[in-house]
Amino acid sequence: MKTHQFEVIVVGAGGAGLMAGLYASKTAKTAVISKLYPTRSHTGTAQGGIGAALASEEEDHPEWHTFDSVKGSDYLGDQDAIEFMCEEAIPAIYELEHMGLPFDRTPDGKISQRPFGGHTNNITGKPVRRACHAADRTGHMILQTLYQQCIKNNVTFYDEFQVVDLLMVNPQTTGVSGATAGVVAIELASGEMHVFHAKAVIFATGGHGRIWEITSNAYSFTGDGPAITMRRGLPLEDMEFFQFHPTGIYKLGILITEGVRGEGGILINGQGERFMEKYAPTVKDLASRDVISRAIYLEIREGRGVNGQNYVYLDVRPESVNKYAALDGRKNLDGTPFVVTGEQILAKLPDIVDFCRVYLGVDPLTQPMPIQPTAHYAMGGIPTNMYGEAIKDEKNSLVPGLYAAGEVACVSVHGANRLGTNSLVDLVVFGKYAGLRAAEFAKGASYQPLPPDPAEFAHAQFDQFLTSDGTENAFDIAREMKKVMFDDMGIFRSGKGMQNALKKVRELQARFKHVRVADSGKIFNMELINAWELGNLLDLAEVTTVSAIARTESRGGHSREDYPDRDDKKWLKHTMAYLRPNGKIDLKYKPVVITKYEPKVRTY
């Protein structure tokens, strides 16, 4: 077993991890550890845009961005943090541009912006151009640019090292964890365990959308970060809130960006109706994601899917776009009517066109795309304050030396429902602050002692897969988990369905103990790694379900048929879920930070 020592360890090399790594390495001895080669991270798949009130082409203000995000969050977001993020978004975008990020441009050379769901002009209520983009590969350009800057600045990387445990002083002993001492990681190429002794650790491991059957999320989105910290006694915040994106490719779940609707695309049901007019009369197809996903679900349930199937159409054919733009009276900025050609659509959405051609054999310029909602984004995660510092209880006490940023974290700026473009903002803003704070902390702190056998807990978790009786198959367990979570813990939920999901997940957890891996080798033993990742997903599925059952209201991404209304009297609060040493999940709550915006009824 090798031991390394760094002042700051960043776990994860997506947008959040790279930003943290860039900033921490300016003043502290830092290493970034990632299970994937950095450019393989999921940030690279983000398509549509990154939001900031630059007002490149029309009036916009950070206050509007703040209000839209608060409203989008269904008032569960912490307003101080949201305000901070929306203000910081502006310099963050310019910083990315200065790092060379090739944003698309306006005719006069400024960063071009497109409309996106839930982003509005707060006076007229109409969509505003706030999403900065590089075609439909904005995330790819962010990931590449940040990684390139890391190369330029000689940031140290451990690529294809999988972190499997967090080392702390006195974990779990009092139910409340102590200071951070480092992490344990497996080098995939050799199978060796490495200990990284550190003063500060930043988790930036992304989301856990592989819990659900239809998902836009990569194979790597297995929630390693929250599973690790939860097992060390730290809480997870708001896990019941998971976003279903309205437009995934039918059956495959591959994402079709909201940018398609920003460019004028519309949703059409099996009867040829533009049904969003009914559900969101003002912004229609650009309502917030939770609202649209529910609308699609209801259309399908009431028999208005296409050909009675579980999908509707997303239509971006120029003739359809132009027809509905004319009906809406949509105008260009110079007041001329909004009209598009097929070439313009191809230029703005090349990857989307490519996905449809490859995976569906459908050409979106001449045919509508079959879509269904797809599991997409974790609003919940490791609780932090607005500087990326991890929190260990309902009083917001800090865990010395522990940080989290990006999708794995819950600041909370997304509350019960994230607005499109706000995750990429979250990565760069909070990634930066987590990096700065961790480095600052490391300067004033000394290394905590390592436990006598630092890899003990990690070994225990992995050894079970080599010694169990092997009567269960991991793939079957994964398939059953995904199915029940999609059916009963999806867009609409009910007490009965969720109880069923919980029962099933617990049964799968028990069966999981009988999984044995066939591969006994050390080199790239992906079977072993994937088995461990499945354990993470199962544990997070359980926390998600337990948190959801308790919340007897509907808010944002958590929508209950047995409790259809938002209940601010009882539920305007964040869930904090703890895994206790006896295996029980314990729920506590903490208040939402409200500064300027009192909760109101949410209509679009």
Partner 1 sequence: MQVTIKVFRYNPEKDKKPGYKTYKLDAIETDRVLDLLEKVKGYQDGTLSFRRSCAHGICGSDAMRINGFNRLACKTLVRDTGAKITVEPILGLKVIKDLIVDMEPFFENFRSVMPYFVNDEPEPAQERYQSPAERERFDDTTKCILCACCTTSYPSFWANDKYLGPAAIVTAHRFIFDSRDRAAAERLKILNDVFGIHRCHTIFNCTLACPREIQVTKAIGEVKMALVTGKLD
Ligand X SMILES: Cc1cc2nc3c(=O)[nH]c(=O)nc-3n(C[C@H](O)[C@H](O)[C@H](O)COP(=O)(O)OP(=O)(O)OC[C@H]3O[C@@H](n4cnc5c(N)ncnc54)[C@H](O)[C@@H]3O)c2cc1C
Question: Closest distance between ligand X and the C-beta of residue 332, in Å?
Answer: 23
Question: Closest distance between ligand X and the C-beta of residue 569, in Å?
Answer: 32
From the list partner 1, ligand X, none, partner contacted by residue 152 (C-beta under 5 to 8 A by kind): partner 1
Q: Residue 95, class by beta-carbon neighbours within 10 Å (0-12 exposed, 13-18 middle, 19+ buried)?
A: middle
Distance of alpha carbon 490 from alpha carbon 300, whole angstroms:
14
Of the residues 7, 10, 14, 437, which one makes contact with ligand X according to CB under 6 A: 14
Q: 389 to each of 255, 397, 603, how far by Cα in Å?
A: 31, 10, 34
The 217-256 site mask, x for binding ligand X (CB under 6 A), equals x--x---x------------------------------x-
Total chain residues near ligand X (CB under 6 A): 44
Distance of alpha carbon 219 from alpha carbon 591, whole angstroms:
34
Residue 289 is among the residues annotated as catalytic for this protein:
yes
Of the residues 379, 427, 428, 517, which one makes contact with partner 1 according to CB under 8 A: 517
Question: Closest distance between partner 1 and the C-beta of residue 153, in Å?
Answer: 9
For 270, half-sphere exposure in the C-beta direction (CA atoms, 13 angstrom radius) is: 17
**3-state secondary structure at position 589:** strand
Question: Closest distance between partner 1 and the C-beta of residue 350, in Å?
Answer: 8
Q: Residue 547, class by beta-carbon neighbours within 10 Å (0-12 exposed, 13-18 middle, 19+ buried)?
A: buried
Of the residues 25, 39, 79, 575, which one makes contact with partner 1 according to CB under 8 A: 39
Q: Which residue is nearest to ligand X (CB)?
A: 14
Of the residues 163, 349, 517, 543, which one makes contact with ligand X according to CB under 6 A: 163
Q: Is the dihedral of CA 195, 201, 203, 205 positive or negative?
A: negative
- Which candidate in 231, 289, 317, 566 is catalytic? 289
* Beta carbons of 267 and 289 less than 8 angstroms apart: no
Which of the residues 461 through 480 are near partner 1 (CB under 8 A)?
473-475
Which of the residues 77 through 96 are near ligand X (CB under 6 A)?
none
Total chain residues near partner 1 (CB under 8 A): 61
Q: How many CB atoms lie within 10 A of CB 431?
A: 32
* Beta carbons of 560 and 251 less than 8 angstroms apart: no
* Beta carbons of 35 and 188 less than 8 angstroms apart: yes
Residue 193, Cα to own-chain centre: how many angstroms? 28
Question: Closest distance between partner 1 and the C-beta of residue 519, in Å?
Answer: 4
From the list ligand X, partner 1, none, partner contacted by residue 151 (C-beta under 5 to 8 A by kind): partner 1
Question: Closest distance between ligand X and the C-beta of residue 323, in Å?
Answer: 26
Phi, psi at 388, each rounded to 5° = 80, 5
Cα angle 247, 252, 256 (rounded to 5 degrees) comes to 30
Residue 21 sits in the site that holds partner 1 (CB under 8 A): no
Residue 393 sits in the site that holds ligand X (CB under 6 A): no
Residue 580 sits in the site that holds partner 1 (CB under 8 A): no
Nearest to 316 by CA among 281, 288, 355: 355
The 91-130 site mask, x for binding partner 1 (CB under 8 A), equals --xx--xxxx-xxxxxxxxxx-------------------
Q: 208 to each of 42, 219, 370, how far by Cα in Å?
A: 11, 9, 25
Question: Closest distance between ligand X and the C-beta of residue 72, in Å?
Answer: 12
From the list ligand X, partner 1, none, partner contacted by residue 204 (C-beta under 5 to 8 A by kind): ligand X
From the list ligand X, partner 1, none, partner contacted by residue 37 (C-beta under 5 to 8 A by kind): partner 1
Give one DSSP letter per residue of 295-343, joined into a string: HHHHHHHTT-SGGGSS-EEEE--HHHHHHHHHHHT-B-TTSSBP---HH
Residue 525 sits in the site that holds partner 1 (CB under 8 A): yes
**Chain positions contacting ligand X, by CB under 6 A:** 11-17, 33-36, 38, 41-43, 45-50, 138-139, 162-163, 204-206, 216-217, 220, 224, 255, 257, 377, 406-408, 420-424, 427
Catalytic residue numbers, as ranges: 289
